Amino acid sequence: MAVSCYLKRHGSNHDIFVNSKSGKKAPVPRHPEIKDSLCKLIRKQLGLADK
């Protein structure tokens, strides 16, 4: 079963995404590229399994 996240709101430098199943939230920066370590942190904050 796929878990989906949705955009809750735009911030000045970040967008806030929410895991639709768990309700966990995470800020995601709007940059062309982000480091792998930040990707892992965002996935952890949203409660998504690390692949």
Residues 21, 35, 51: CA angle, nearest 5 degrees: 45
Q: What residues make up the domain containing 33?
A: 5-46
Write out the two tokens for 3.
Answer: 């878990």
Q: Does the residue 51 lie in any domain?
A: no
28: β partners: 15
- Rounded Cα distance between 5 and 25, Å, is 9
Write out the two tokens for 37.
Answer: 């370590």
- pLDDT, tens digit (0-9, with 9 covering 90-100), for 1-51: 567 999 999 988 999 999 999 999 999 999 889 999 999 999 999 999 766
Q: Does the residue 22 lie in any domain?
A: yes
| Number of domains forming the structure of the chain | 1
Question: What is the per-residue pLDDT for 49?
Answer: 76
pTM for this entry: 0.82
CB 18 within 8 A of CB 4: no
